[in-house]
């Protein structure tokens, strides 16, 4: 049985201007011990998806359909109260900016203890010991003293470690990290990524890493899902995505990926244009206004929504170009360019 499976998940928000289709028919699977990277530009629906899995849109204005299967249980139709009991214990989340994501008025230790005691009926003393252990585990020096510090007394990297300690405190089976390193500087980013990789191996959790930085998913992921306008547009193993990507949008992302041998600010092949409106999604392929290949599909790009189809061995692509055209374009037009730059 698949540990986590999304089937045609849709999360739409009614707004004054119309329905915001933040997630629009998303499906994927993830096994224990594996890491899925979800990449996409700002607004592609990554965070909405992760909050949706945790059930945090329940009771709000969101219209949710589809299925989320977690360890044999369906969560979209489950009661909010039931999903709440799974949160923190069965599935946990690490947020982007640990300064704003931790309560400024409670000590780091108190916040970890709270997370632990929701799901474990233990005394404060036991919970405190556990919190110190967790802080130690994520590499915070002098954890028995730092446990009484407030978040603002930590550095950015230490805060993110504490946030990870909090998320892991109940030994979750599914861990979602939403932009876990975006708020940190480069060297600290690398440390946090190392830490997450180690911890995931120890805990054998299923890990979803959400980012708009392909470099981060390259570090961690077994599989990669590329999202655009609430939909998956390419899905495959890390090798598929980095060695033989087949979607023009993925090519664009790879072109804008910061690389060690380049200045970080210098983005050689940025994707032109901006992400589409999620209310009036462009007809046909949502990417077509920005796609330099749209004129090679005989007009289908602007009129017909492409389906997510298997290219080869579980590698899925949502594009009207034929597989051969995509592969030739990658080999002859895109790859040489990326390598040259």
Binding site for ligand ATP (CB under 6 A): 13, 15, 20, 22, 40, 42-48, 212, 278
Judged by DSSP in three states, 2 sits in coil
Q: Which of 109, 157, 236, 306 is close enough to bind ligand SF4 by CB under 6 A? A: 306
CB 250 within 8 A of CB 241: yes
Binding residue count for ligand SF4, defined by CB under 6 A: 13
- Long-range CB pairs of 249-252 (<8 Å, 24+ gap) are 249/287, 249/290, 249/291, 250/226, 251/330, 251/334, 252/290
CB 5 within 8 A of CB 72: no
The site partner of 103 among other proteins, ligand ATP, ligand SF4, none (C-beta below 5 to 8 Å per kind) is other proteins
Contacts with 172 (C-beta within 8 Å, 6 or more apart), sequence order: 88, 89, 90, 91, 92, 203, 205
Supply 58's token pair.
């329940």
The site partner of 321 among Mg ion, ligand SF4, ligand ATP, none (C-beta below 5 to 8 Å per kind) is ligand SF4
276 binding ligand SF4? (CB under 6 A): no
Which part of the chain contacts ligand SF4 (CB under 6 A), choosing from 32-40, 94-102, 143-151, 287-295? 287-295
Residue 27 vs residues 190, 222, 246: alpha-carbon distances, Å: 30, 17, 19
Supply the minimum distance, in Å, between the C-beta of residue 45 and ligand ATP.
4
Considering the complex, state which of residue 151 and residue 245 has its C-beta at the smaller distance from other proteins.
151
Supply the minimum distance, in Å, between the C-beta of residue 1 and other proteins.
24
- 93: nearest Cα among 181, 187, 166: 166
Considering the complex, state which of residue 16 and residue 121 has its C-beta at the smaller distance from ligand ATP.
16
Positions in the binding site for other proteins (CB under 8 A): 51, 54, 56, 84-89, 92-93, 95, 97, 100-106, 114-115, 118-119, 150, 152, 166
Supply 309's token pair.
């189809």
Judged by DSSP in three states, 284 sits in coil
Question: CA-to-CA distance for 340 and 239, rounded, in angstroms?
Answer: 20
Considering the complex, state which of residue 88 and residue 180 has its C-beta at the smaller distance from Mg ion.
180
Supply the minimum distance, in Å, between the C-beta of residue 51 and ligand ATP.
8
The site partner of 40 among ligand ATP, ligand SF4, Mg ion, none (C-beta below 5 to 8 Å per kind) is ligand ATP
- 35: nearest Cα among 212, 209, 163, 193: 209
47 binding Mg ion? (CB under 5 A): yes
C-alpha triplet 14, 20, 22: angle, nearest 5°:
125
Supply the minimum distance, in Å, between the C-beta of residue 13 and ligand ATP.
3
Supply the minimum distance, in Å, between the C-beta of residue 214 and other proteins.
25
Look at the block and give the residue holding tokens 């069965």. Answer: 90
DSSP state letters, 188-209: HHHHHHHHHHHHHHHHT-EEEE
Q: Which of 287, 315, 316, 334 is close enough to bind ligand SF4 by CB under 6 A? A: 287
Considering the complex, state which of residue 86 and residue 134 has its C-beta at the smaller distance from other proteins.
86
Considering the complex, state which of residue 110 and residue 285 has its C-beta at the smaller distance from ligand SF4.
285
Supply the minimum distance, in Å, between the C-beta of residue 341 and ligand SF4.
21
Considering the complex, state which of residue 127 and residue 224 has its C-beta at the smaller distance from ligand ATP.
224
- 189: nearest Cα among 212, 160, 209, 218: 160
Considering the complex, state which of residue 78 and residue 101 has its C-beta at the smaller distance from other proteins.
101
Cα 107 to its chain centre, rounded Å, is 28
Supply the minimum distance, in Å, between the C-beta of residue 99 and other proteins.
9
Question: CA-to-CA distance for 168 and 165, rounded, in angstroms?
Answer: 5
Binding site for ligand SF4 (CB under 6 A): 248, 285, 287-288, 291, 293-294, 297, 301, 306, 319-321
């Amino acid at each position: 049985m698949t540990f986590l499976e999304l089937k045609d998940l849709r999360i739409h928000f009614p707004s004054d201007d119309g329905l915001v289709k933040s997630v629009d028919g998303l499906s994927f699977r993830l096994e224990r011990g594996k890491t899925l990277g979800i990449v996409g530009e700002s607004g592609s629906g990554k965070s909405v998806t992760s909050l949706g899995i945790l059930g945090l849109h329940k009771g709000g204005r969101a219209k949710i359909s589809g299925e989320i299967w977690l360890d044999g249980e369906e969560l979209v139709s489950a009661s909010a109260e039931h999903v709440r009991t799974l949160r923190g214990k069965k599935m946990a989340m690490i947020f982007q900016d640990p300064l704003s994501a931790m309560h400024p008025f409670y000590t780091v230790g108190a916040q970890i203890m709270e997370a632990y005691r929701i799901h474990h009926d233990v005394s404060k003393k036991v919970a405190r010991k556990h919190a110190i252990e967790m802080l130690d585990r994520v590499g915070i020096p002098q954890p028995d003293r730092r446990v009484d510090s407030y978040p603002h007394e930590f550095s950015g990297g230490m805060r993110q470690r504490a946030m990870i300690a909090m998320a892991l405190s109940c030994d979750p089976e599914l861990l979602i990290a939403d932009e876990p390193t975006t708020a940190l500087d480069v060297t600290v980013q690398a440390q946090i990524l190392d830490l997450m990789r180690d911890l995931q191996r120890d805990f054998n959790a299923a890990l979803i890493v959400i980012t708009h930085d392909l470099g981060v998913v390259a570090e961690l992921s077994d599989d990669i899902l590329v999202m655009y306008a609430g939909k998956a547009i390419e899905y495959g193993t890390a090798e598929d995505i980095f060695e033989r990507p087949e979607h023009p949008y993925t090519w664009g992302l790879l072109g804008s990926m910061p690389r060690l041998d380049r200045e970080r600010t210098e983005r050689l092949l940025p994707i032109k244009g901006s992400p589409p409106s999620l209310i009036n999604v462009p007809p046909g392929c949502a990417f077509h206004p920005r796609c330099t290949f749209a004129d090679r599909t005989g007009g289908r790009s602007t009129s017909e929504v492409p389906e997510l189809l298997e290219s080869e061995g579980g590698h899925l692509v949502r594009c009207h170009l034929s597989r051969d055209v995509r592969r030739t374009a990658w080999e002859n037009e895109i790859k040489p360019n990326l390598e040259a730059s």
